């Protein structure tokens, strides 16, 4: 989410929300919202860049209360039925006019329908988020990586890397010739370390998950971190809920709780940096392992990172070829956004988003405002199907 001016955040958005303008101005839907989890009770935020995607429990409750009061939150299955009608009607030859087909699609869902989604399937989604959803009688589509099909939990590799970079004492020096990395004296300043971390994420995304694991082990040694450095993220219940993914048992509990489960790749690389073979393996393989773990079809895919800099048209084609029935980006969402079946836009909710800012985003108002004053429209058209 780009910077929102104080005037918009504290004056314009609250006024428009209170007046009812935002919900009444909402365009065609449904709109899709994406979360990344809920902070465990007592967890202390360490770094805004690392933790900024998660929500405080009370903030989530306020958002769900607003959605229940002013919008219609639909189930993943209802969204699937709508999507099948939406895109099957485009190809049907039943003699109906385009206007009749559009009317049938529109009437298949209530007005101002919202789908809730959540990426990564961290442990806190089961311990913190699902109970809140149950309190409101709502369900959510959770996107899990292949790690959640394993018998033991693990950390998302890029978050583990970030934690290592944060814990390194003094200037950083790394030597990983296989990855073309030979770096000395990375400043301890937060901005420099963040930029350094992201450069590593981009670099390592071209390698397989086992290779990335080997790189992380060597980075741990070269940064002087202790051999048992990872143990605190397993033994401390708050850290475990924040950073560990669900294991197979937890994933099954998530589905048994009435939640939808989609795939989020095998190991969460940046697809735009991956080879064709690696990207295909990450997309198709995630469907296979999650379906085996759950014993049920996995019909939706959520692209890792999910923006136009990290996802290519090739990846959209791979999602369709793998047998998914639709796939989701992580930007560009809100009512009125153009939906492509394998690049469905979503509103990315962050920890620092106010309630009125949240509504300005889902209503499509903020997106429309940005399109007027930026080149974002051209960026969002990059993934438009050519035929």
User: pLDDT digit string (tens) for 327-357?
Assistant: 999 999 999 998 899 999 999 999 999 999 9
The answer to the question of residue 75 being in a domain is yes
The answer to the question of residue 1 being in a domain is no
User: pLDDT digit string (tens) for 89-139?
Assistant: 555 555 566 677 667 776 789 999 999 999 999 999 999 999 999 999 999
Q: What's the pLDDT at 373?
A: 73
Q: What's the pLDDT at 25?
A: 84
Does residue 196 sit in the same domain as residue 216?
yes
Nearest C-alpha neighbor of 142 from the set 165, 161, 117: 117
Q: What are phi and psi of 348, to 5 degrees?
A: -90, 115
Does residue 146 sit in the same domain as residue 225?
no
The answer to the question of residue 276 being in a domain is yes
The answer to the question of residue 112 being in a domain is yes
Does residue 35 sit in the same domain as residue 107?
yes
Does residue 35 sit in the same domain as residue 159?
no
Q: What CATH code is carried by the domain that includes residue 82?
A: 3.20.20.370
User: pLDDT digit string (tens) for 354-384?
Assistant: 999 999 999 999 988 888 777 555 555 556 5
Q: What's the pLDDT at 386?
A: 44
Q: What's the pLDDT at 90?
A: 52
Does residue 183 sit in the same domain as residue 272?
no
User: pLDDT digit string (tens) for 74-103?
Assistant: 999 999 999 999 888 555 555 566 677 667
Does residue 91 sit in the same domain as residue 237?
no
Across the range 240-269, mean pLDDT stands at 98
Q: What's the pLDDT at 96?
A: 61
**Among the three residues 243, 273, 288, which one is the final residue of a domain in this structure?**
243
The answer to the question of residue 11 being in a domain is yes
Does residue 135 sit in the same domain as residue 182?
no
Does residue 46 sit in the same domain as residue 166?
no
Is 70 exceeded by the pLDDT of residue 143? yes
Across the range 243-266, mean pLDDT stands at 98
- The residue assigned the tokens 């918009």 is 8
Does residue 104 sit in the same domain as residue 203?
no
Q: What's the pLDDT at 119?
A: 98
Does residue 10 sit in the same domain as residue 111?
yes
| Number of domain units in the chain | 2
Residue 274: domain span: 6-154+245-383
Beta bridge pairs of residue 262: 143
User: pLDDT digit string (tens) for 259-307?
Assistant: 999 999 999 999 999 999 999 999 999 999 999 999 999 999 999 999 9
The answer to the question of residue 37 being in a domain is yes
Does residue 119 sit in the same domain as residue 192?
no
**Among the three residues 243, 272, 296, which one is the final residue of a domain in this structure?**
243
The DSSP annotation for 143-191 comes to EE-GGGGSSS--B-HHHHHHHHHHH--SSEEEEEGGGTEEEEEE-SSHH
Which pairing describes strands 181-186 and 113-119: parallel, antiparallel, or unpaired?
Answer: unpaired
Nearest C-alpha neighbor of 144 from the set 1, 309, 267: 267
**Among the three residues 194, 211, 243, which one is the final residue of a domain in this structure?**
243
Dihedral sign for Cα 338, 83, 123, 125, please: positive
Q: What's the pLDDT at 14?
A: 93
Q: What's the pLDDT at 88?
A: 80
Helices (H), the chain: 6-7, 13-19, 21-24, 48-51, 57-70, 76-91, 98-107, 123-124, 130-135, 157-167, 190-204, 209-222, 232-235, 237-243, 248-256, 276-294, 313-321, 355-362, 365-373, 376-380
Q: What's the pLDDT at 19?
A: 95
The answer to the question of residue 137 being in a domain is yes
Q: What are phi and psi of 189, to 5 degrees?
A: -65, 140
Q: What's the pLDDT at 70?
A: 95
Dihedral sign for Cα 204, 209, 214, 220, please: positive
Beta carbons of 146 and 262 less than 8 angstroms apart: no
Distance, CA of 172 to CA of 363 (rounded, Å) = 44
The pLDDT mean for the chain works out to 92
The answer to the question of residue 94 being in a domain is yes
Q: What are phi and psi of 384, to 5 degrees?
A: -65, 130
Distance, CA of 215 to CA of 40 (rounded, Å) = 29
User: pLDDT digit string (tens) for 144-186?
Assistant: 999 999 999 999 999 999 999 999 998 999 999 999 999 998 8
Instruction: Indicate the pLDDT class of residue 387, thresholds 50, 70 and 90.
Output: very low
Q: End-to-end CA distance of the chain: give it in Å, rounded.
A: 30
Predicted model pTM: 0.93
Helix axes 157-167, 190-204, angle to 10 degrees: 150
Does residue 97 sit in the same domain as residue 26?
yes
Is 50 exceeded by the pLDDT of residue 34? yes
């Amino acid at each position: 989410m780009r910077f929102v001016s104080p005037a918009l955040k504290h004056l314009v958005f609250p006024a428009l929300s209170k007046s009812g303008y935002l919900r009444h101005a909402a365009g065609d839907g449904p709109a899709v919202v994406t979360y990344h989890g809920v902070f465990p009770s007592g967890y202390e935020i360490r770094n805004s860049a690392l933790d900024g995607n998660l929500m405080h429990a009370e903030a989530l409750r306020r958002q769900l209360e607003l959605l229940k009061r002013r919008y219609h939150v639909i189930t993943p299955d209802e969204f699937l039925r709508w999507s099948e009608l939406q895109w099957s009607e485009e190809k049907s030859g039943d003699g109906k006019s385009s206007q009749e087909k559009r009317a049938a699609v529109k009437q298949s869902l209530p007005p101002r329908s919202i789908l809730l989604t959540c990426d990564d399937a961290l442990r806190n989604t089961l311990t913190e988020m699902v109970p809140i959803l149950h309190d409101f009688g709502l369900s959510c589509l959770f996107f899990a990586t292949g790690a959640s099909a394993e018998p033991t939990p693990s950390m998302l590799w890029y978050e583990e890397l970030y934690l290592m970079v944060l814990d390194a004492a003094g200037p950083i020096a790394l030597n990983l010739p296989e990855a073309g990395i030979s770096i000395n004296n990375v400043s301890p300043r937060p901005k420099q370390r963040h930029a350094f971390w992201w450069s590593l994420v981009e670099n390592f995304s071209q390698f397989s998950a086992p290779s990335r694991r080997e790189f992380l082990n060597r980075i741990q040694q070269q940064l002087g971190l202790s051999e048992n450095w990872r143990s605190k993220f397993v033994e401390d219940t708050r850290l475990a809920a924040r950073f560990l993914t669900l294991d197979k048992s937890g994933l099954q509990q998530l589905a048994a709780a009435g939640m939808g489960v989609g795939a989020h790749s095998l190991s969460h690389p940046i697809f735009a940096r991956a080879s064709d073979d690696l990207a295909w393996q990450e997309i198709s393989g995630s469907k296979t392992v999650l379906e085996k773990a759950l014993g049920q079809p996995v019909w939706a895919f959520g692209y890792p990172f999910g923006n136009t800099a990290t996802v290519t048209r090739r990846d959209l084609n791979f999602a369709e070829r793998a047998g998914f029935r639709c796939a989701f980006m992580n930007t560009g969402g809100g009512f009125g956004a153009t939906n492509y079946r394998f690049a469905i836009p979503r509103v990315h909710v962050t920890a620092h988003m106010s309630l009125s800012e949240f509504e300005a985003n889902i209503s499509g108002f903020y997106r429309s405002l940005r399109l007027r004053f930026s080149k974002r429209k051209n960026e969002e058209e990059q993934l438009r199907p050519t035929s």
